[in-house]
Structure 1
Amino acid sequence: MGDNSAKLEVGSKTNSLPVMNGTVGPDVIDISKLYADTGMFTYDPGFTSTASCESKITYIDGDEGILMYRGYPIEQLAEHGDFLETCYLLLYGELPTQGQKADFDNRVTHHTMVHEQMTRFFSGFRRDAHPMAVMVGVVGALSAFYHDSIDIADPYQRMVASVRMIAKMPTIAAMAYKYSIGQPFMYPKNSLDFTANFLHMCFAVPCDEYKVNPVLARAMDRIFILHADHEQNASTSTVRLAGSSGANPFACIAAGTPRLWGPAHGGANEAALDML
């Protein structure tokens, strides 16, 4: 926190508000004691001028074309790393060593399967249901299967939940796609890396051999890296708000999923892909 402060005049009273200096981006005025001092709230629809928390994870400047994870430019991560390495960076705050990377990859790989009973959830959806509608329901259903990693105060349980979510989300997405086109679900293969496994689950069929195109796998991996985190956006804020009550983390993720569906958020990416 810097030594400077901001002054706010309310009637005849002047209030001194601390100014916190950001490492990158604009400084912020700490108004956490404003109500106690003045009896007033601030009014900022859409949080357009409000930072709801302190974060060291992601910095985005869309006008300047800047995206950084933990201080690393996205260009470096996309060129020299892969998606799971980026996930490790986001979760732990630093890039993994070779041994840490191998251990993390192994943990994710062995959590990619979902409970067999979950396959029955898909039959309750229309074949022409939007994939995001299916994702909301099925991701929420994960909370009914996992009760051993829901204590947000326990770092180990938080990490277990994070690994499970990273591992199972592409499996659920691939299953939603397969269901929409009437093809059987394809199980994940531990012999494939994260992105190749996703393509396998989306496009392989039991009656034919499918070989993942490495060029397409690398391109998809870079897309995953670009979308690994998106700062304090609508879906992130929703998940944090739901999680603040100590709710099951899978249910919290399900709460944030439909926010990504909206045309002003993830829906914009969908529209861009439609144009391409």
Structure 2
Amino acid sequence: MVANTAAVKTGKGSNSLTVTDERTGKTFSIPIVNNSISATAFKQMKAPRANDEREENETERGLRVSDKGFLNTAVISSSITYIDGDAGVLRYRGYPIEQLAQNSSFLEVAYLLIYGDLPTRKNLETFEHEVMHHTIVHSDAETLFRSFRYNAHPMSILSSAFSAIGSFYEEANPSLQGQNLYTKTDPKSLANMDKQIYRLIGKAITLAAMAYRVRQGRSFVTPPLGMSYTGSFLYQLDRAGEERYKPSPVLERALDVLFILHADHELNASSTTVLQTGSSLVDPYSAVAAGCASLYGPLHGGANEAVIRMLIAIGSPANVPAYIEAVKRREKVLSGFGHRIYKTSDPRSFIIRNIADEVFAVTGKDELLDTAMALHAVAMKDEYFISRKLAPNVDFWSGLIYRAMGFPMDFFPVLFAVPRVVGWLAHWRQMMHQQGGVKIWRPRQLYVGPGKRDYLPIYKRLEETNLDPKSTPIAVPHSGQSKRSELAEYVGKGKSKL
């Protein structure tokens, strides 16, 4: 299809996009709503298949829209988070992130994201009480955590834990209670949904702390009473039997601000995963576990860890210029700069920079800070990075703060996942109640594989040479018991009988 006419009608007429399909000469008018057009509108643009065209193109069934990586596809209408990447703007429910980070608490922001408005004092007290009341986990969860190897990655543990605790609550599972368990808006359904939200937010810090302590071989800590969300988290991470243990208020507040900044970021990879999973009407624990698995990836939740590894590799401020030149030659990767959405500075990076100074004032300056400052100074003045709009993002400073606070690098994604549970639940709750109901997400594909082929028996198949390594299995070298077993004789040993 070639669009030789594309007009937007304004004024008294309805906004629309007029497209002419030059294959058939037909003209189509597609409504524009909220500066978007419906992808399914293109299905009406059908044409006869050309003689030499593949039947798999399904030309006669209408056009499909190709968008690798969802670069310009809106999959849901949302009122939660707004991002203007060109202007460096981030707002939760309309409130600038700068105002929330300065004046709010994490649980107040959690309430805002989930329910739509800043809470009254009474509503906030109710919400805080319910969340903190649900921080305690079932004792059977301890058995689960003790079953992991001592060196298991904490994100693997956390993902498994969220999925496992969902099995403790029969009333939370649509597969057991009916598929409309969360899509109804009657008081009973809403109360049940809220209870699961309280549980997931409250237990997030407890499960994360358990994942941390099991790696150290320490016993688990019962969540305390009367502390803030991040205060309780630090308490569960670190208390080793001391009386009246109280975490540092500086670190507690710093973590609270970091949690606010990481609470949501529109439809990033993990939030999209939660919604994709949730669209099957699975229970929210399974959807959150899927979100953890997505965030676990180094292109998402592992970015701040990559910054620390980069700074360690650079070594000292004196090595920064050479590293910058290697980046320009594409020999090295510059972690912590640039963003898929922000085409200018990440607004969260300025807030984190101030928090970093407060943390370093009590923890002492991290040995990597001078290298980070030198890298920042050079990159911000270099035309190569300026022209490509590679400004520092939230990950550049957060890793340094977590490192200064004494967290191991493989725990950084957990510190990202805990607050992001709130954003995931906000989007999940919104989708459950969206107008028109929940529709399972089922993207289309462009099939470019072979056409129809007839089956050949194995003895008729020719051995091919110079195969693409990606199209044939690679034998794994064996040693130890596997090697000895290969040399042994036993009943059933041999090749396939096909």
Shared topology, TM-score over 0.5? yes
Give the structure 1 partner of residue 463 of structure 2. none
Q: How does 1:88-127 map to 2 (within 5 A)?
A: 88-127=111-150
Instruction: Give the equivalent residue in structure 1 for 2:221.
Output: 186
Aligned to 1:60: 83
Q: How much identity, in percent, do the aligned residues show?
A: 43
Q: 1:45-86 CA distances to partner (integer Å, 9 max, x unpaired)?
A: 111010100001011234533211000001111111100000
CA 269–59 in structure 1, closer or farther in 2 if over 3 Å, else same: farther
1:219-273 deviation line (CA, Å, top 9, x unaligned): 0000110111121111111111111111111011111111101121111133346
Cα distance in 1 between the residues matched to 2:270 and 2:129: 28
Structure 1 stretches of 4+ with a deviation exceeding 4 A read none
Indicate which of 81, 91, 94 corresponds to 2:104: 81
State whether residues 269 and 295 of structure 2, in contact with CA within 8 Å, keep that contact through their aligned partners in structure 1: yes
Which residue of 259, 262, 268 corresponds with 2:294?
Answer: 259
| Structure 2: segments with no counterpart, 5+ residues | 1-9, 47-61, 174-180, 184-188, 312-399, 401-498
The residue number in structure 2 matching 1:250 is: 285
Please show how residues 69-218 of structure 1 align to structure 2 within 5 Å.
Answer: 69-150=92-173, 151-153=181-183, 154-206=189-241, 210-218=245-253
Aligned residue for 2:264? 229
Kept in 2, the 8 Å contact 1:142–1:251? The answer is no
Alpha-carbon distance between aligned partners in 2 of 1:15 and 1:239, rounded to the nearest angstrom: 35
- Give how far 1:164 is off: 1.1
Q: Distance in 2 between matches of 1:253 and 1:119?
A: 20
Letter in 2 for 1:30: S
Letter in 1 for 2:43: Y
CA–CA separation in structure 2 for the residues paired with 1:104 and 1:273: 36
Tell me the distance in 2 between the aligned counterparts of 1:49 and 1:223.
29
Question: Which amino acid in structure 1 is aligned with residue 170 of structure 2?
Answer: H
**Aligned equivalents of 1:253 and 1:273: distance in 2?**
27
Bigger Rg, structure 1 or 2:
2
Q: Per the alignment, do residues 208 and 99 of structure 1 end up closer, same or farther by CA in structure 2, a change over 3 Å counting?
A: closer
Tell me the matched-pair count.
270
1:34 maps to 42
Choose from 60, 67, 70 the match for 1:44: 67
Asked whether the equivalents of residues 17 and 29 of structure 2 are also in contact (C-alpha less than 8 Å), the reply is yes
SS in 2 for 1:16: strand
Whichever residue aligns with residue 126 of structure 1, its letter is R
Relative distance call for 1:152 and 1:36 in structure 2 (3 A) is: farther
Q: Are the counterparts in 1 of residues 43 and 63 from structure 2 also a CA contact under 8 Å?
A: yes
**Secondary structure, aligned partner of 2:17:** strand
1:32 Cα deviation after fit: 3.3
Q: What CA distance in whole angstroms lies between the structure 1 residues aligned with 2:275 and 2:71?
A: 17
The Cα of 1:124 is off from its aligned counterpart by 1.8
Letter in 2 for 1:155: L
Give the deviation of 1:156 after TM superposition. 2.6
Give the alignment's Cα RMSD to 1 decimal.
1.7
Residues 127-157 of structure 1: per-residue CA shift (max 9 Å, x gap): 1111111111111101211122342213332
User: Quick check: which one's strand share is greater?
Assistant: 1
| TM-superposed deviation, 1:37 | 5.2
- Which of 3, 7, 29 is the aligned partner of 2:18? 7
Q: Which runs of 5+ in 1 are unaligned?
A: 22-26
The one-letter code matched in structure 2 to 1:44 is D
Q: State the distance in 1 between where 2:93 and 2:308 align.
A: 28
CA distance in 2, matches of 1:28, 1:246: 27
Equivalent residue of 1:134, what SS? Answer: helix
Query: Amino acid of the residue matched to residue 263 of structure 2?
Result: A
